[in-house]
Structure 1
Amino acid sequence: ILLLFIQLTKLNAIIPFDGIIHRSSDGSSYAFLSSPRIGGHASFIEQLTPSGTLAVAWFTGVLFWNNETQILHLYHTSQVAHGSENTSQIWHVQSKDRGATWSTPEPFYTLPGAYDRHRIIPSFDGNELIFLCYNSTSAPYSFILRLSLEMSIVTRTDINQSVYLIQPTVIRLNNTSKLRAFFRDKRAVWIYYADSDDDGLNWTIPKPTYLPNNDAAIVAYTLKSGAVIMSFDNHNGTQQPRSPLTVALSYDNGITWPYHRDIQIHDDDNDTYVGEYSYPSLIQSFWKGSDDNDVHLVHTYDRETIKYRRFNEKWIKQGK
């Protein structure tokens, strides 16, 4: 697991793989993160307050910043060396100095094959944390873990009929106990969704959206405007490349998606080569200031490094 902190700067020099943020001609910003070795994949982004620093982890790490305690948590998978994914467990480490040092890893959830992928969300009553997980077996499926903050007890809820629908990414609807989960489709046809009216305790049977999926990761997030943003590879089929990586906007909680804009189509230095641009993770700035509405997105860049992008809601609407 690799962890990197991004300082938000506005520089113009083009020096890839150095972590420095540059302005793009299309109005967005970008950076190639500096990795100690080639092979960056499956990134996750979190924001630390009050500094506004962005923390990025990759290789199956999910970060959670507790603003009250000022502790940064990392929940990551661990599996038998050279073993299959069905040996995976979820482990936990924490940092009390904003990522400079870390605690000794401890098991969090040890059911073989368990994976976490997306943002941890507080329960509606604030007494629990909701973890979005899936089981990597021959017939993979999704489930929810709930961590009681008072008792430190973990309980589990399986999502109905979610076989081959994995890596759930969840939004809260209209600041209520209603949740909507979107799923990656192992059959490589559509992004699916399911609803919960009771804060994730029970779920409807998943239904397809009209957004395609090529058996690659997706992510959904609710912006301050109320719009839902989704990032995904914009086609279906298992034989297709994980490109283009696209962002889309919905103004009816993910039922329709009238605005789309491609984030990455070709390699930056080769306008004909199509690489892998996948496993997006995103967050919107929540500090106050001129960049308060910026969206920060990280994704796999050709399995070489992690690429960072910064843009806003208006930029997506201006896409062709």
Structure 2
Amino acid sequence: MSSIAINPDGIIRRSEADDAREEAFLPTHVAQAHASFLLALGNGDIACTWFAGTEEGKPDVSIYFSRLPAGSRQWTPETKVSDDPERSEQNPVLFETPEGALWLLYTAQEFGNQDTAIVRRRISQDGGRSWGPIETLFDEPGTFIRQPMLVLSSGEWILPIFHCLPVPGETWHGQNDVSAVKISADQGRTWSEYPVPESRGAVHMNIVERRDGTLLALFRSRYADSIMSATSGDKGRTWTTPVPTPLPNNNSSIQCRALADGTLALVFNNVSATPAVRAQAQGRPTWGVPRTPLSIALSSDEGETWPVIRDIEVAPSPPPELNVDKQDRRMRELSYPTVTGDAQGRINVAFTYFRKAIKFVRFNPGWVAGA
């Protein structure tokens, strides 16, 4: 077994293996950490949130938050920003309103049952230094989130969601998940929902607005085959049916954001299930595909093509000692990436590091092409 040292002090250092990139382990002092979310704030800070506890789905899982002050090389100590002893709180999303308020959205589910999840919210008026009361934003059971909320060119706010719908006589296993969007025309006071047609299995919908005002959505596939895509020409009211892209997916999360120059940066696991594994699943969700390598792709044509791809990190083989209590697929987990640009033009990425930590890396866009 190989061994990997984790120092969760939040200090950003030059990578020993590649001096063209910098990295840090965010301050995490809980048994398992997962599903981070980065957001560059208007004041130059970068915020990060994730969930942590003994194990995903258990009631002691809560949301944590850290901030990288502008110009600093050290993330602030983590703070716990949710603590419901009866629900597992997961998949946090950050959103900064045009007025500068910072929203924290996250799911809260009963033990092990994703189809019981509701969406909660807290608001900070000081960039995450303090938080207002916990509120329920969407109370329909089975409502889940993962990806950024956007302010569209129309001024409307759009939030991608997916519904974890129960199947009579079966426990939730992702077999009936469908996507939709919530749209607000009054700064989040009221919301309307619009479904994505024929989207069963296409989840974690990630929306970017193109220069012509159309919307591109990219999806995780429950069938571990390809990243899926759909488009909307009416600001999210109607969508095309999701179709496969040339990029693979392993039934794990992705994230895509537009950089300042319009380039799209997509972070994902550049791997899919083999045809034999998918055939064995017999049309049901495919689980257990290794979540490595963790890669980044760039598109200069608004998602039409992704010609530049580079691995950010590859899990070692054999897996590290820090997860000897888990199956191989769990040990080889570099997953749930999140990406954002910053005021210096760098690309910032965070991801789950073997469920034991959140790793942060940053580099210039030229690094992706090997420049």
TM-score of the superposition, structure 2-length normalised?
Answer: 0.75
Aligned runs of 1:123-162 on 2, under 5 Å? 123-126=152-155, 128-137=156-165, 138-149=175-186, 152-162=189-199
Relative to structure 1, the CA distance from residue 150 to residue 257 in structure 2 (aligned partners, 3 Å threshold; closer, same or farther) is closer
Q: Which residue of 2 aligns with 1:17?
A: 8
Q: Which residue of 2 aligns with 1:10?
A: none
Question: SS of the residue aligned with 1:261?
Answer: strand
Q: Does 1:282 align with 2:311?
A: no
Relative to structure 1, the CA distance from residue 29 to residue 212 in structure 2 (aligned partners, 3 Å threshold; closer, same or farther) is same
Name which of structure 1's ranges 272-281 and 152-161 shifts more when overlaid on structure 2: 272-281
Relative to structure 1, the CA distance from residue 67 to residue 19 in structure 2 (aligned partners, 3 Å threshold; closer, same or farther) is farther
Give the Å deviation of 1:303: 0.3
Question: SS of the residue aligned with 1:316?
Answer: helix
Aligned runs of 1:80-91 on 2, under 5 Å? 80=110, 82-91=111-120
Structure 2 Cα separation of the partners of residues 110 and 125 of structure 1? 27
Q: Does 1:299 align with 2:299?
A: no
Q: Paired residue for 1:235, among 261, 264, 271?
A: 271
Structure 1 Cα separation of the partners of residues 195 and 122 of structure 2? 25
Give the Å deviation of 1:150: 5.3
Post-superposition CA distance 1:119-164 (Å, at most 9, x none): 11012211x2100111123410111001232581111001111100
Give the Å deviation of 1:225: 2.6
Question: SS of the residue aligned with 1:87?
Answer: strand
Name which of structure 1's ranges 91-100 and 39-48 shifts more when overlaid on structure 2: 91-100
Structure 1 Cα separation of the partners of residues 300 and 187 of structure 2? 36
Determine if contact 1:234/1:245 at 8 Å carries over to the other structure: yes
Q: Which residue of 2 aligns with 1:57?
A: 49
Q: Paired residue for 1:105, among 91, 113, 134?
A: 134
Post-superposition CA distance 1:13-64 (Å, at most 9, x none): x9721111011242111100111312110110112232x1111111211011
- Aligned residue pairs total 294
Determine if contact 2:265/2:339 at 8 Å carries over to the other structure: no
Q: Which residue of 2 aligns with 1:7?
A: none
Structure 2 Cα separation of the partners of residues 150 and 234 of structure 1? 36
Question: SS of the residue aligned with 1:41?
Answer: strand
Relative to structure 1, the CA distance from residue 300 to residue 133 in structure 2 (aligned partners, 3 Å threshold; closer, same or farther) is same
Q: Percent identity?
A: 32
Structure 2 Cα separation of the partners of residues 295 and 261 of structure 1? 13
Give the Å deviation of 1:229: 1.4
Determine if contact 2:319/2:332 at 8 Å carries over to the other structure: no
Post-superposition CA distance 1:224-283 (Å, at most 9, x none): 23221111101101443100000011222222211111011025xx88656211111111
User: 5+ unaligned residues in a row in structure 1: which ranges?
Assistant: 1-13
Structure 2 Cα separation of the partners of residues 151 and 318 of structure 1? 42
Q: Paired residue for 1:198, among 217, 220, 234?
A: 234
Aligned runs of 1:22-101 on 2, under 5 Å? 22-24=13-15, 25-26=17-18, 27-50=20-43, 52-59=44-51, 60-68=91-99, 70-80=100-110, 82-101=111-130
Q: Paired residue for 2:366, among 304, 314, 319?
A: 314
Question: SS of the residue aligned with 2:32?
Answer: coil
Determine if contact 2:254/2:267 at 8 Å carries over to the other structure: yes
Give the Å deviation of 1:99: 1.6
Determine if contact 1:282/1:297 at 8 Å carries over to the other structure: yes
Structure 2 Cα separation of the partners of residues 147 and 110 of structure 1? 16
Structure 2 Cα separation of the partners of residues 103 and 151 of structure 1? 16
Determine if contact 1:75/1:90 at 8 Å carries over to the other structure: yes
User: 5+ unaligned residues in a row in structure 2: which ranges?
Assistant: 52-90, 166-174, 274-286, 321-330
Task: Give RMSD over aligned pairs.
Answer: 1.9
Post-superposition CA distance 1:165-200 (Å, at most 9, x none): 0001111111x3200000000000000100001111
Relative to structure 1, the CA distance from residue 76 to residue 15 in structure 2 (aligned partners, 3 Å threshold; closer, same or farther) is closer
Determine if contact 1:49/1:67 at 8 Å carries over to the other structure: no
Determine if contact 2:225/2:272 at 8 Å carries over to the other structure: yes
Structure 2 Cα separation of the partners of residues 16 and 67 of structure 1? 36
Question: SS of the residue aligned with 1:315?
Answer: helix
Q: Which residue of 1 aligns with 2:71?
A: none
Give the Å deviation of 1:66: 2.5
